[in-house]
Amino acid sequence: MALSKNALIVLTSHYDVFYEDGTKTGVFWSEAAHAFHAFKKAGWEVQFVSETGSYGIDEHSLVPPMFISEEDLAEYNNKDAEIHKYLAQTKAIKDVNVDDYAIFYAAGGHATLFDLPTATGLIDAARKIYANGGVVSAVCHGPAIFGGCPELVKDKKVTCFVQAAEEQIGLGATLEKFNLKTNEEILAAAGGIYQAPPNEWVDFSVADGRIVTGVNPASATSTAEKAIAALQ
């Protein structure tokens, strides 16, 4: 099958109160936006999808300077920016012809831990794209998708948001409260070979064949770029 230059950017549908300050988790803005720009810059077309067709933006991902730059925040606030036109066309995965896509890229946000491991439509899409010779990629908390398709990462070198970083940002107890597995635990259960970054917050991504994973928000661009490179 000839693969087209079309990428699915996968968003979590979970959007609910999570943080101790009462704010909500959802899609981590920069992890979706940076990948969008990387794909477009390389001449790829993009379709945003989620399990249900709905999504919300993680409120902490919009607070500068730690998790978003002023430039990225300006783009988020500019509703005429190109990315918003694409986000307005977000589809439920059931309404997408997966055979038209060569890259599956899962953006993160702690919300992914709630829905991606059991999002059957997205899990089936990841399996199908991989079976068709495409790439399955995920960044930060996005590798939660592999909780539902562990065979894709078994014996593969993979990475994800670091467990120690959850403690650094004060969310270890929150994950326990919601009875959520960390990404490291999900990948370990799937049989992945975890690759630790030199630092929890630097750009670090890993490609093993047609499986590409990244550690954190800073790794979104390189994860998307390596996903493209894996097809070349």
> Which residues are the active-site residues?
140-141, 166
- Residue 139's identity, in one-letter code, is V
Q: Are 44 and 86 in contact, with CB atoms under 8 Å apart?
A: no
- Confirm if 145 and 117 have CB atoms less than 8 A apart: yes
HSE-CB at 5 with a 13 A cutoff on CA atoms is 12
Alpha helices, DSSP H, located in the chain: 29-41, 70-77, 82-87, 112-115, 120-131, 163-168, 172-177, 183-190, 220-229
Q: How many residues does the chain have?
A: 232
Residue 42 burial (CB < 10 Å; 0-12/13-18/19+)? middle
Q: Are 169 and 131 in contact (CB under 8 A)?
A: no
